[in-house]
Chain A
């Protein structure tokens, strides 16, 4: 087992990883920018190293600083969390070269599966249904125009290195495609340092359903069922749940098997998520694979009784997993609490938390790094807490969520709490009748 794990991340996920490490008896190292000096992950870890000034590209994204911090503390493994360097193939390679275990897949795996254009091709080869589109990266606008004409508008331009909704543009007509191509590339370059774009058919009003998988170092692959993440705003998830209210058990099984087929074909090691779009006729199409632990992983943990981070670390250490797939139990819903103003276009609302009281009680799990009078820095993403609700079934989870959100007090900054409360009163949401257009339709 690892002697010491450095967590190359911040905020709630850094805490999440540190907590499991403590339970496993593994010492931890936190890294932090100057803006995070008072952050909880710095306090919770056994050691902490300041790695740079506030901007991410000078701290959390700066590979030499992170590796140097691992060196001086003697860490023999690095957990990248999600975002930042979690899906940076070069970082994975550099860790390997420096004899530090990157807790995630190899650089090669990341390149193949994390690179969305290539991932599609890989899945297609083993017979997993994919969304029609370009074969890999689109070289230029002319090629994009040609492919779009072939498969028919509307089409979606997607950043190959993208995630979290960045670098995506929907194009309804040919006259829009040139501008969309430019801006998608620029946005992707700014967020991920890579401007490559691929193209696919835009499936209108789909559901976004993803399958959690794990591959160990012995050639075993497991899937832990689905998460329905259709409640999204600008391709950023806000609410995720499991089981999906839309899937039948037949489709669920087919999708699970398809996900396993895909990861087997690339000898995938670690935790990962295979994402699909499901249309109104229950046809499902692979869109991308995320080669990391995801924000919404707790939803699966609550319903499938598994510590995903623990198993992720075990697998990375060359051990077998400890939590095998079980039948799902009950229903879990995660609500992302962002420091954003839902009444003003969800614009970020950093600043000081004047008063904080988390909800509690049976079936409420809070994953968060904030505390009373914490100052939310403006340099990073706006996720400040995740509230995961578990109930015996979906209606119970919804009732419990309403109860919990009533208890939740967070003053000083704007949050998405009022937004979630509105959604929980929406009859379509309650009926399980929603797709990725839900927020656009009901809550501009």
Chain B
């Protein structure tokens, strides 16, 4: 688990009504609990591989408070293994190479680096946007034939 992901998790919990949250990835278990005064405490049980993290005093338990809803749980789980494909240019997003052709990909398709996902058209030039991760397309974030800006997220790929 890398530090940026950890930072994202903390931010997510802090900004939400969740008071107690835990998640496990392989050998690493992370638990974040929030005091009524809004500060978060992080308890981690690292596997021997993650020696750089220290286990802080695991004394304080959060109030029962609001338990995590099913909707929120996946939202945080998402951050762990979903990769956003972003537009490298400004232009108009198209799902297919031409109006009457089939879309390049559908939800559920497997993709890998180099797979063409869509077209972003700029100045009459059709730019094929390639995936740079391996996994499964789980979400299409932009409607067909709508404008996109630089670094706008286009697809969510569930990575393997």
| Chain A contacts to B: CB under 8 angstroms | 34, 49-53, 59, 64-65, 67-69, 71-73, 98
Contact = CB atoms under 8 A, between A and B. Distances in A.
Interface of B: 89-92, 122-123, 125, 147-152
A98 B152 contact: no
B149 A64 contact: no
B90 A51 contact: yes
A49 B123 contact: no
A49 B91 CA distance: 10
A68 B122 contact: yes
B123 A68 contact: yes
A168 B125 CA distance: 39
A51 B147 contact: no
Contacts of B122: 64-65, 67-68, 71
A50 B149 contact: yes
A50 B91 CA distance: 11
A71 B149 contact: no
Contacts of B152: 50
A68 B90 contact: yes
B150 A50 contact: yes
A71 B123 contact: yes
Nearest to B88: A52
Given A49-B90, A72-B90, A72-B92, A64 B123 contact: yes
Contact of B123 (A52, A67, A73): A67
A59 B90 CA distance: 10
Given A34-B151, A50-B151, A65 B89 contact: yes
A34 B149 CA distance: 11
A68 B87 CA distance: 13
B123 A69 contact: no
Contacts of A49: 90, 147, 149-150
Given A51-B149, A51-B150, A71-B122, 6 more contacts: A34-B151, A49-B90, A52-B90, A69-B149, A73-B147, A98-B123
Query: 6 closest Cβ contacts across the A-B interface?
Result: A72-B147, A68-B122, A68-B90, A50-B149, A50-B150, A49-B149
Contacts of B125: 64
B128 to A, nearest CB: 16
A312 B42 CA distance: 59
A351 B48 CA distance: 41
A271 to B, nearest CB: 28
Contacts of A59: 150
Given A64-B123, A65-B89, A52 B150 contact: yes
Nearest to A67: B123
A227 to B, nearest CB: 37
B90 A65 contact: yes
Contacts of B148: 72
A65 B148 CA distance: 11
A98 B91 CA distance: 15
A98 to B, nearest CB: 7
A65 B147 contact: no
A422 B149 CA distance: 46
Contacts of A52: 90, 150
B151 A68 contact: no
Nearest to A49: B149
Contacts of B89: 64-65, 68
A72 B121 CA distance: 10
Contacts of B91: 68, 71-72
A73 B92 CA distance: 10
A98 B123 CA distance: 8
A69 B120 CA distance: 12
B126 to A, nearest CB: 12
Nearest to A71: B123
Contacts of A50: 90, 149-152
B118 to A, nearest CB: 15
B3 to A, nearest CB: 22
| Residue of B89, B90, B123 most packed against chain A (CB within 10 A) | B90
A49 to B, nearest CB: 5
17 contacts: A34-B150, A49-B147, A50-B149, A50-B151, A50-B152, A53-B151, A64-B125, A67-B122, A68-B90, A69-B90, A71-B91, A71-B92, A71-B122, A72-B92, A72-B148, A73-B147, A98-B123
B143 to A, nearest CB: 13
A14 to B, nearest CB: 17
Contacts of B92: 71-72
